[in-house]
């Protein structure tokens, strides 16, 4: 039964442009929320939280959020580089074209 349903459903593939746009939106949304979480964690470390958790545990949570934020910032940068690469006149595209042109001339 499940196989029949799978065969009947045709999923439309996303274009690279749509996929890049969606990935960018998701990454920047994640960065925004992690920044808010980090602000809250920093404040909790300063105030000692509500007393349920030790300062040591709050520090570890803050550090963990900070590492996660660094990772997602990196992912967002990679996505943006990929998006810029799609632009016909982007610096990255021009450099890649020049490298390919140079390789072709060497052969």
16-26 pLDDT, tens digit per residue, is: 888 888 998 89
Q: What is the maximum alpha-carbon separation in the chain?
A: 70
- In the predicted model, what is the mean pLDDT of the chain? 82
Q: How far apart are CA 49 and CA 62, in angstroms?
A: 12
pTM beyond 0.85: no
Pick from 44, 69, 68: nearest CA to 56: 44
Query: Tokens 């060497």, residue?
Result: 106
- How many distinct helices (H) and strands (E) make up the chain? 4, 0
Residue 48: CA count within 13 A, CB half-sphere: 1
The tens digit of pLDDT for each residue in 32-55 reads 999 999 999 999 999 999 999 999
All structural domains of the chain with their residue ranges? 15-106
How far is C-alpha 34 from the chain's CA centre? 12
């Amino acid at each position: 039964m499940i196989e029949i349903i799978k065969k009947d459903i045709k999923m439309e593939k996303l274009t690279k442009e749509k996929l890049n746009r969606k990935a960018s939106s998701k990454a920047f949304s994640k960065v925004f929320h992690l920044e808010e979480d980090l602000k809250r964690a920093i404040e909790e470390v300063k105030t000692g939280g509500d007393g349920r958790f030790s300062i040591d545990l709050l520090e570890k949570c803050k550090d963990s959020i900070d590492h996660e934020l660094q990772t997602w910032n990196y992912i967002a940068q990679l996505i943006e580089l990929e998006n810029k690469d799609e632009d016909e006149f982007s610096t990255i595209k021009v450099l890649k074209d020049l490298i390919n042109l140079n390789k072709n001339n060497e052969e």
